[in-house]
Amino acid sequence: MPDNVWPLPQYSTCVSAGLQDNYRQLLPAGLLAAADYVFPASASVAPGATLPIRSSGAASNTVWFAPASATQFAAGPTMTQASGDATSLSAPSTPGDYRLFVVDSQGNRLGQSSSHLRVN
């Protein structure tokens, strides 16, 4: 893809490539942000499509697809969530551009993905 935003089948290949979750601790701390590990490549999907993701490594976290400017998180047509150990996440139902966020149990943002989700 010219803009590095992949259709779902190609994005799914990116998710299953690389280091397996069982060996994630081998990565030096700070080498790869949690959000970029969970959502490793940009994707383009239909509204409400379910995408594979990688676990954030902590069930107490939540992962969200939300607009890049999000500071508060609440499920709705422009935000979807899953538990931190989930391996899939639904796209928002409203067309637009989204990022993946990892949020801890206190509601603190642990990171925002550099990859984006295009819902069209």
49-81 pLDDT tens trace: 999 999 988 999 999 999 999 999 999 999 999
Q: Is the pLDDT of residue 1 over 70?
A: no
Which of 2.70.98, 3.10.110, 2.170.140, 2.60.40 is the CATH number of 5-119?
2.60.40
How far is CA 58 from each of CA 1, 63, 93, 104, 105, rounded to the nearest angstrom?
32, 10, 26, 9, 10
* pLDDT confidence tier of residue 97, bands split at 50, 70 and 90: very high
Question: In which residue are the tokens 């996440």 written?
Answer: 89
Distance CA 7, CA 100 (A): 17
Predicted model pTM: 0.88
First CA to last CA across the chain, in angstroms?
16
**What residues form DSSP beta bridges with 116?**
99
26, 18 Cβ separation under 8 angstroms: no
H or E segment and range at residue 37 = helix 34-38
